[in-house]
Structure 1
Amino acid sequence: MIVITAPTGQIGGQVLDILLDDAPAHGEELRVIVRDPARLPAHVRERVDVVTGSHADAEVVDRAFAAADAVFWLVPPDRRAPSLDSAYVGFTQAAAKAFTAHRVGHVVGVSALGRGTPVADRAGLVTASLAMDDLIASTGVAYRALANPSFMDNVLRQVASIRDDGVFTDTLDPDHAAPQAATRDIARAAADLLLDRSWTGTGEVPVLGPEDLSPTDMARIMSDVLGRPVRYERRSLDDFRAALVAHGTGEAFADGYVDMMRAKNEGLDNGVPRTPSAASPTTFRAWCEEVLAPAARA
């Protein structure tokens, strides 16, 4: 039995889709934890065991982890959380106890790059995510943290600006090159670990994409693929924070985002060498052709 959390989210939904295709050949049953089962398509609900509720809730995870062999763990962002500790470690505490109580063998979690870098302890959301990893590892479960950089898919949040104005923004130095990963590659890495549980102990699995890119590089590639000029505009961290707050993000999470972006500009995502096993396959150009361009046309 494999349990999938956040099955209607960007990464969790892709993990579920992959496992629906691949799990039967491995003799695996699937269970999901979801707040609103109606958000799952009917054909999916027919093929999985559904536990309704939040995976922060002790009673929910107690039911969900009964007879579970493996768990895909993803903490959904809580922009109104009173603190980053409560948003990550606090959210995970009930699950950590349930991992032990139900003797769950393997857990795969969505986390971040940065462990061991000089800025890891002041990287906001990433620092909190790494603390969550430590909590899960302390239970004794076999654990793999997917250590991710920024997502290519985050560019979709700016598809209207890219399409209509030829502009995309970020807070990074225009020439700061760093890894970028497609969420579909992260989901594939998670599914592979959940299906082949020959691994033991705790560790990180970097998902780095095939190349480092700067915002300037990304603008050039988007221009090529979309057939129109796209330029990068750097925004200040103060402006970035103000925009987050204006859209309803709480003070703690806004500060966490700002600290994370500052740390990324200081090399947070650049500390892991790209090995063949860490170099996930989707290039930014391929992602633009297959995901961004159709979204822009729509």
Structure 2
Amino acid sequence: MIVITAPTGNIGRHLVPRLLESAPAAGEELRVVARDPARLPDAVRDRVEVVTGSHGDPAVVDRAFAGADAVFWLTPPDASRAPDDAYAGFTRPAARALAAHGVGHVVGVSALGRGTPLADRAGLVTATFAMDDLIASTGTAYRALANPSFFENLLEEADSIREKGVFTDSVAADRRAPLVAVEDIAAVAAGLLLDRSWSGTGSVPVLGPQDLSPDDLARVMTEQLGRPVRYERLPLDELYASLVGYGLDPAFARGVVDMKAAKDQGLDAGVARTPETASPTGFADWCARTLRPAVLDRA
């Protein structure tokens, strides 16, 4: 039995179909934890067991993890809570349930930068590492998917790209770093969940095929969208003010700012890209398949 949390999220919606392709042949059953099962596609809902509720709820994870051999764990960012509470605090009931039910393997969504001088002052990333430590402390075999920023973050800027030809971030325009498509993260997660020959704890970097700077992203988007796109760097103090203005918990907003500052100082740059750590989806292909429709089909 494999349990998938956040099955309708960015990664989960790619992960569940991958598992459905392979799990039956491998003799695996699938169970998902969903707040709103109606959001699951019919083709998914009819082929999995559904536990309704939040995977931050002790009663829900106790039901969900009973009889489970493996769990895919993703903590949804809750901007109404301080980072430690949003990540490790949210995960604590699950950690108790993992131990109580003797779940053998967990694959979790994590971040790059562990072991670097920036790791203890990287805001949300630092909180994510504390979550990893909590899961590992249960005695389960654990693999933390060490991810950089996602291509999909740019979908939040689709309106700005369409209307103004602008996207923003808080890193230097020439700061190259790895970026990754969520479908590639899902592919790595599926492989680990289906082949559980691994043991102990460790991280699995998923780095995308190349490092890119904001200026590189602007150039590729301009080519793929057929219209000018440029990058504007947002000062960190302005970012903090805007996040608090949107209603985020001030401590969570500070966690975002500290993460952005650490990324601008090279948090994501310390892992070598190898055939094992690279993933296949290139930014130009992602733009053509995903960003272009999001920007141009609504024009």
Structure 1 length as normaliser, TM-score? 0.98
What residue in structure 1 maps to residue 49 of structure 2?
49
Task: Give structure 1 stretches of 5+ with no counterpart.
Answer: none
Q: Which residue identity does 2:83 align to in structure 1?
A: L
Q: CA deviation at 1:42?
A: 2.7
What residue in structure 2 maps to residue 186 of structure 1?
185
Q: Which residue identity does 1:146 align to in structure 2?
A: L
What residue in structure 2 maps to residue 226 of structure 1?
225
What residue in structure 2 maps to residue 247 of structure 1?
246
Task: Give structure 2 stretches of 5+ with no counterpart.
Answer: none
What residue in structure 1 maps to residue 215 of structure 2?
216
- Counterparts of 1:163-182 in structure 2 under 5 Å? 163-182=162-181
1:87-119 deviation digits (Å, cap 9, x = unpaired): 111111111111111111100000000101111
Alignment pair present for 1:266 and 2:265: yes
Q: Which residue identity does 1:85 align to in structure 2?
A: D
Alignment pair present for 1:157 and 2:189: no
Q: CA deviation at 1:86?
A: 1.0
Q: CA-atom RMSD, angstroms? A: 0.9
1:156-204 deviation digits (Å, cap 9, x = unpaired): 1111111221111110100000000001101111111101111111100
What residue in structure 1 maps to residue 67 of structure 2?
67
Alignment pair present for 1:237 and 2:236: yes
What residue in structure 2 maps to residue 23 of structure 1?
23
Percent identity (aligned):
66
1:263-291 deviation digits (Å, cap 9, x = unpaired): 00011101111111100111111111111
Structure 2 length as normaliser, TM-score? 0.97
What residue in structure 2 maps to residue 76 of structure 1?
76
Q: Which residue identity does 2:53 align to in structure 1?
A: G
What residue in structure 1 maps to residue 85 of structure 2?
86
What residue in structure 2 maps to residue 108 of structure 1?
107
* Partners of 1:131 and 1:2 in 2: CA distance: 24
* Partners of 1:89 and 1:160 in 2: CA distance: 33
Q: Which residue identity does 1:227 align to in structure 2?
A: G
| DSSP 3-state at the match of 1:60 | helix
What residue in structure 2 maps to residue 14 of structure 1?
14
Q: CA deviation at 1:70?
A: 0.3
Q: Which residue identity does 2:55 align to in structure 1?
A: H
Return structure 1 stretches of 4+ with deviation > 4 angstroms.
none
| DSSP 3-state at the match of 2:25 | helix
* Partners of 2:65 and 2:91 in 1: CA distance: 13
